[in-house]
Amino acid sequence: MKQSGWRLPDILAILNGVPHGVALLDRDARLLGMNHALEALTGYPAAQVEGLAADAVLCSHLSHKNPLYRQAMEGGGPVAAEGDLIGASRKKIPVRLTVSALGNGAAADGGLVMVVEDLSLFRALEKERSGGLEAKGIIGHSPQLRKVLDFVPVLAHTDATVLITGETGTGKDLLAEAIHHASGRAAYPFVKVNCGALPENLLESELFGHARGAFTGAHADKPGMFRLAQGGTLFLTEIGDLPLPLQVKLLTVLDDRAFYPLGSSKRVQVDVRVVTGTHRNLKELVAQGRFRQDLYFRLNVLTVHLPPLREREGDAAFLADHFLQQFASGLRKTITGFSAKAMARLAAYAYPGNVRELRNIVEYAVSVCRGSEITPENLPEYVAKAPPASRPAAGQPPAAPVPAAGVEPSMEGPAGEANWQGAEKRLIMETLLRCKGNRGEAARALGWGRSTLWRKMKQHGIG
């Protein structure tokens, strides 16, 4: 490689200040040197790989036989492509390679310079924005669950209160956290409080904090969960168990964004989004006088219902395989899967405890299994003897579809479905107008992929 008076060590010293990986190659795409960033990315010291073919070190599909290198050499470049790099750790790293010829004009005889950009962070953010929620523990492919997950961007792009309903074990806390991480408050805390886990006096202190000397044992000021969640999201699970006196105080906080800690005369201002969850029917609790109607209306701004596992077509088998791999790996067991009879038993079970119960069942089965697959004998006895689950008739919607923004959670069937569809259609149209018809920009604003936006526009008849 011609260096025009520059020595290779001098060039590499300059390149060490570049934040991306950079390699210098000869005309045969052999490594002449790498900067420190590329050494860290590949895991190879430059002195160890000097003189080797670039594709042998980077282990990507972009070898020196690829047109990428030839185009850069013949045309002067730059030529770019994306792929996966596999370094010394044998882990796949998504990268963008940009190759340029060193020299003047076509058929340059000065070798090549290659810039390697690590795209791992961008891929993670892209997955997050496109609604990829498996990282949050929300796993499943059923249409019933996908409808809920498609609604997450709608819930995330507002500060309105959210009420998540669903049976115990359906994953309400995971959905609340997913909404938080998809929202503009993701950089701030996500705090979870179980409203049914503590007696009233301790729960008030837990939520709103207390001043020193407020009660026996209060030896210091306590900030409370509202203040700890400042700027972020406070998830109040089992909101139906919140005592009536605290319901009044919560309503005041939601309206005024301020409260008085227990035993204090100093008013505290907070900026917190409240998401609530319950397995109870709040409307029935209101009729029984156990839940304030005004608080119910205040919480029921945006509502989403998580379907029980028995209504999620095919998800039980999918989740069982997921948990099997998880526990088998943790216990260092080689278990290939479930026998046909064991899977039939799992498919017929009603799962009153939903996903949480299925997880426990698989953990038990993996723990006691001594063979290469899970058999019915490895399942808990109550699963084998349980009657088959009752399921909705073919073509019928689940018992509690996802309601629309602003509608009551008791709305079921076609009316609730129509309202939800209408809210989603309005959101898409408003976003398209705000983005001046740019679908790519609208998809990013909604947190969807372009294909998801296209599919939903077609579904709603938006041209």
Query: Per residue in 43-75, pLDDT tens?
Result: 888 888 888 887 777 766 554 445 666 777 776
Q: What does the alpha-carbon distance between residue 210 and residue 264 come to, in Å, rounded to a whole number?
A: 7
Query: Per residue in 80-105, pLDDT tens?
Result: 777 777 777 777 788 888 888 876 54
Query: Per residue in 154-182, pLDDT tens?
Result: 898 889 999 999 999 999 999 999 999 88
pLDDT bracket for residue 421 (50, 70, 90): low
Of 423 and 176, the one with more pLDDT: 176
Is the pLDDT score of 254 beyond 50?
A: yes
Of 231 and 220, the one with more pLDDT: 231
pLDDT bracket for residue 397 (50, 70, 90): very low
Query: Per residue in 367-394, pLDDT tens?
Result: 999 998 999 999 998 887 776 655 444 3
Measure Cα distances from 61 to 36, 93, 94, 124 in Å. Answer: 23, 12, 12, 22
Mean pLDDT of 388-401: 43
Q: What does the alpha-carbon distance between residue 5 and residue 16 come to, in Å, rounded to a whole number?
A: 19
Which residues does 78 contact at the CB level (< 8 Å), separation at least 6? 72, 98, 99, 100
Note whether 116 and 19 are within 8 A (CB).
no
How much is the pLDDT for 272? 94
Of 118 and 370, the one with more pLDDT: 370
Of 302 and 421, the one with more pLDDT: 302
Question: Does the pTM of the predicted model rise above 0.85?
Answer: no
Is the pLDDT score of 291 beyond 90?
A: yes
SS3 of 209-228: the string is CECCCCCCCCCCCECCHHHH
Query: Per residue in 120-162, pLDDT tens?
Result: 766 665 555 444 455 456 788 888 888 888 888 889 888 999 9
Amino acid making up residue 244: L
